[in-house]
Amino acid sequence: MNSKTFFSLIFSVTFLSSCAQENTPKITTPANPNYSYETVVSGIDIPWGMAFITANDFLVTEKSGELYRVSAGTKTAVTGLPDIYVRGQGGLLDVALHPEFTTNNTLYITAGTNIEGDSGGNTALYSAVLNGSQLEAVKLLYKATPNTKKGQHWGSRIVFDGKGHLFFGVGDRGNRDENPQDLGRDGGKIYRLNLDGSIPEDNPFVNEEGAKKAIYSYGHRNPQGMTLHPETGALWETEHGPRGGDEINIISPGKNYGWPKITYGINYSGTPITDDTALPGMEQPLYYWVPSIAPSGMTFLYSDIYPEWKGNLFVGSLSFEYLERVVLKNNTVVQREKVLADIGRVRNVVVGPDGYLYVGVEGKGILKIVPQS
């Protein structure tokens, strides 16, 4: 065997071992589901984000630019929001409570904004203090630039690591050729900040000249789901692929997740984006869906209310209008199941403080999944 053949063989073995798991096993739909659902609050067209204060008191964002406080099934509009730039997939996005919300009443939101006075907008992260149904002390913590009139790929979820940091994502904003792979540009990134908006000293690119210091990982297309694994503490993310190639990723600091240099998807027109599904120095997804399910919010469930679902991952599907239950074993998907099949475009899923699953469904509002006794 000559050296060229040897190294070709080594590359082939490495390539094959690094490939991600495609969507097998195929998804199933239970014939007689042992659960039902209740409508907690209706009249919300696109319920993007949810944050629970108590089991009967929570916040919901409406993408068109409204923040609601829902108490005992009654929603009240929260005033004091910053100006929201609504365009395409952008608008008012996620909402999350400060880890010490019970003592400081602080929350965070991500939203499309334009504070520069030019045309277009981009994703921004704000903090604010909630006083009843009013926001006070609104503070801009991060604003992605430049603004653009493109309507796609804004991200964005907010997650805390329990160590004084928060993560949030911004999609590539429809500029895949420049933003995701350039550390000097916003877009196609997941960011990490201290809770006051400052840059952590140990961020992976904090000492790299010309890099955006808030970047935690890059090479993303449109991260619309993020959650912390309750046992390992790892940051998990769902990402909208193009036509095919939606992903589940486990996010590590400083890593490049490949978009658009590598992908398992193609253009919506059917033409290829790239011939590569793996390249050196780029991370493989844990899992990818073909066809695309258009994954939205995600959460792990560790509640005794649903014994058969304990430890499972739940991911909303916009395209196929269901909640997907993903059973994992050693970070391999071993079972997939439709929950609430044909319910509508599932935008978000959250485990409430009472242990129940709450699902945001476009045109319906917030639903609570109730096991049948």
Return the pLDDT at 2.
47
Taking only the tens place, the pLDDT of each residue in 129-155 is 999 999 999 999 999 999 999 999 999
From the list 98, 153, 220, 240, the catalytic residue is 153
Asked whether 193 and 166 are in contact (CB, 8 A), the reply is yes
pLDDT above 50 (res 186):
yes
Return the pLDDT at 23.
77
- Domains assigned to the chain: 49-285 (2.120.10.30), 293-373 (2.40.10)
pTM of the model: 0.93
Neighbours of 199 (CB within 10 A): 17
- Given pLDDT bands bounded at 50, 70 and 90, which one contains residue 6? very low
pLDDT above 70 (res 5):
no
Distances, alpha carbon 336 to alpha carbons 65, 87, 364, in Å: 34, 34, 24
Taking only the tens place, the pLDDT of each residue in 338-367 is 999 999 999 999 999 999 999 999 999 999
Taking only the tens place, the pLDDT of each residue in 277-312 is 999 999 999 999 999 999 999 999 999 999 999 999
The mean pLDDT of the chain is: 94
pLDDT above 70 (res 37):
yes
Of 303, 321, 155, nearest to 225 by C-alpha is 155
pLDDT above 80 (res 4):
no
- Given pLDDT bands bounded at 50, 70 and 90, which one contains residue 217? very high
pLDDT above 50 (res 244):
yes
Give the mean model confidence (pLDDT) for residues 143-171. Answer: 97
Active site includes 229? no
CA-to-CA distance for 312 and 188, rounded, in angstroms?
A: 27
Return the pLDDT at 19.
65
Query: From the CA atom positions of the chain, what is the Rg in Å?
Result: 20
pLDDT above 70 (res 14):
no
- Given pLDDT bands bounded at 50, 70 and 90, which one contains residue 10? very low
